[in-house]
């Protein structure tokens, strides 16, 4: 499993980009106070449904696994020389 030096920052950015993607698809913004866990699950499911990322097997859909999938999804969106992609 590939890990990144700035994985926490990448997850934060992935949630921002994922929320924008969801809004462009017609979904409402997350209400204030929505937990990170809920945001990760919702964005992961939307991206998997839209075939933007390869879904995990049902038994592997845990918080850490979904967060990592979002980080990998974001890594593919960033330019190769982006500072967050340091390993």
- 55: domain CATH number is 1.20.120.1930
Q: What is the mean pLDDT of residues 28-32?
A: 92
Asked if residue 86 belongs to a domain, the reply is no
Q: Give the chain's domain count.
A: 1
pLDDT band at 14 (very low <50, low <70, confident <90, very high): very high
Asked if residue 25 belongs to a domain, the reply is yes
What are the Cα distances from residue 24, in Å, to 29, 49, 50, 53, 76?
10, 15, 13, 17, 19
**Residue 1 has what pLDDT?**
63
Asked if residue 2 belongs to a domain, the reply is no
- Asked if 86 contacts 5 with a C-beta cutoff of 8 angstroms, the reply is yes
Dump pLDDT digits (tens) for 57-79.
999 999 999 999 999 999 998 88
Asked if residue 28 belongs to a domain, the reply is yes
């Amino acid at each position: 499993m590939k890990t990144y030096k700035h994985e926490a920052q990448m997850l934060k950015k992935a949630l921002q980009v994922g929320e924008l993607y969801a809004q462009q698809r017609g979904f409402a913004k997350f209400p204030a106070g929505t937990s990170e866990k809920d945001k990760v699950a919702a964005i992961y499911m939307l991206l998997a449904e839209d075939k933007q990322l390869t879904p995990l097997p049902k038994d592997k859909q845990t918080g850490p696994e979904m967060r990592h999938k979002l980080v990998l999804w974001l890594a593919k969106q960033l330019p190769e020389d982006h500072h967050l992609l340091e390993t």
